[in-house]
Amino acid sequence: LALRELITSSSRPSNQKEALTLPQPSITDLCQILTIVSKEAVEMYDKENGMDPLTFGRLESLLKIVMNFVEEHASSAVSGIGRRSVRVNRTQSVEEIAELRKASATINELVTKMAERLLLLVEQQGGPKSMRNLQKKINTMEILFVRVQLMGKKSNRFLESTTIPTFLDWDAPYICRVPSEAVWKAMNSDRIKNAKKNMKSVPAHFIEDEICTTFAEPYIMFLREEIPESNIALCIEIPDEREVEKNETETLYFIVTPVRPVRSSKEKYYQSKKFHCQSTEQGSQEITVANHFPCALSRQSTLITRVLHDATSNC
């Protein structure tokens, strides 16, 4: 709301001629927008688990860009040669540089708070305090992902010929980031609580299955509005294609399979665009998407799927 009010107030035309052209925001307006967006971005990152290293990296890169621009703008104001085609008076230059430094200070404060949070997290886990070992520690923080695919009998919305995009395309595998709310709900489910009571340690596959089931709940709920529940099959493992072809006129298969990111040791932060997924027929699969996760997207369609014939390969 604050961002909308700022943009609206800065874009009001003063006369009819200006109303026909797109308004050019001032550096002061852009600094205020940058400050608001940075704070809101941190708040949105905080809503998901394991995003602190990525948040720190993004803020650190943004701070460098802003600081470089401050230096360049200050030098151009002194020499009279800058980005703009006309000179501005000295008073305006001083005000703009002050706003740029203010925005830089705000982002620097966010970076400092994020670094302190990461260091506190490692200290609570009994890890080393050095920044080098801290970086190794935060790189191991995993974010949960699943492979999602719709197969079999199509619901009405997929039968319609429309240009309106859907959350998932039919028969196209996607890699989706599991929201922290779904993970929390799964870990506090009755199944997990009962398993903890009856077992010394709950197997990893048991927890993964519960997370996949919890992730699928809202989608299954919407599918029930178009297809009877008896005709919807939730699969935690990728089903046999022959079984799908046999029942494709009666059953809708909603496939949610746990995947694990494959990260290169050269990457500075925990990011990956390759994932391993276990397939009951052909061992495991290596799935590649376009952009590195985590990113602004909660889901990405798969670009390449490579079958790893070694069925014993870790997934």
What does the pLDDT look like over 21-45, one tens digit per residue?
656 778 888 888 889 989 988 888 7
What is the pLDDT at residue 212? 92
Report CA torsion sign: 143, 215, 176, 240.
Answer: positive
For residue 309, name the pLDDT band (cuts at 50, 70, 90).
Answer: low
- Burial tier of 150 (Cβ tally within 10 Å: 0-12, 13-18, 19+): buried
Q: pLDDT class for 217, splitting at 50, 70, 90?
A: very high
- The tens digit of pLDDT for each residue in 91-123 reads 777 788 888 889 999 999 998 888 887 776 555
Task: Using the predicted structure, report yes or no on whether residue 254 has a pLDDT greater than 90.
Answer: yes
For residues 264 and 215, the model is more confident at 215
Higher pLDDT, 254 or 315: 254
Confidence band for 174, pLDDT divided at 50, 70 and 90: very high
Q: Are strands 283-293 and 174-177 parallel, antiparallel or unpaired?
A: unpaired
Name beta bridge partners: 283: 279
Predicted local distance difference test score (pLDDT) of residue 9: 57
pLDDT of residue 213: 93
Structure tokens at 233: 């099959």
Over pLDDT 90: what percentage of the chain? 10
C-alpha to C-alpha distance for 299 and 168, rounded to whole angstroms: 9
Predicted pLDDT at 26: 81
- pLDDT of 214: 93
| CA dist 133 → 127, 128, 130, 141, 301 (Å) | 8, 6, 5, 13, 35
CB atoms within 10 A of CB 135: 15
Buried b (16+ CB within 10 A) or exposed e, 1-37: eeeeebeeebeeeeeeeeeeeeeeeebbbebbbbbbe
Cα distances (angstroms) measured from residue 194 to each of 153, 184, 189, 191, 207:
35, 16, 9, 5, 12
The pLDDT, as a whole number, for residue 281 is 60
Mean pLDDT of the chain: 76
User: What's the CA gap between 291 and 285, in Å, rounded?
Assistant: 18
What pLDDT does 207 receive?
A: 87
pLDDT of residue 122: 54
In this prediction, residue 61 has a pLDDT band, given cuts at 50, 70 and 90, of confident
Around Cβ 117, how many Cβ atoms within 10 Å?
14
Q: Are 255 and 151 in contact (CB under 8 A)?
A: yes
Q: Decide which of 99 and 159 is more confident.
A: 99
Q: Is the pLDDT of residue 139 over 60?
A: no
Q: Among 180, 176, 209, 179, which residue's Cα sits nearest to residue 287?
A: 176
More confidently predicted of 3 and 201: 201
Residue, of 251 and 88, whose pLDDT is higher? 251
d(C-alpha 271, C-alpha 41), whole Å: 18
Q: Would you state the pLDDT for residue 234?
A: 92
Residue 215 has pLDDT above 90, yes or no: yes
Q: Compute the average pLDDT of residues 147-176.
A: 80
More confident residue, 149 or 165: 149
What does the alpha-carbon distance between residue 258 and residue 261 come to, in Å, rounded to a whole number?
10
Q: What pLDDT was estimated at residue 257?
A: 92
- Chain centroid to CA 54: how far? 10
- Tell me which of 92 and 183 has the higher pLDDT: 183
The CA distances from residue 201 to 81, 140, 184, 193, 195, in Å, are 67, 22, 18, 11, 8
Q: What single string gives the DSSP state of each residue in 131-171?
A: HHHHHHHHHT----EEEEEEEESPPHHHHS--SS--SS-TT
Lookup: tokens for 255: 């496939």
Dihedral angle, C-alpha 105, 122, 277, 228, nearest 10 °: -80
With a cut of 70, say whether residue 175 has pLDDT above it.
yes
0.85 cut: is pTM over it?
no
pLDDT of 185 higher than 60:
yes
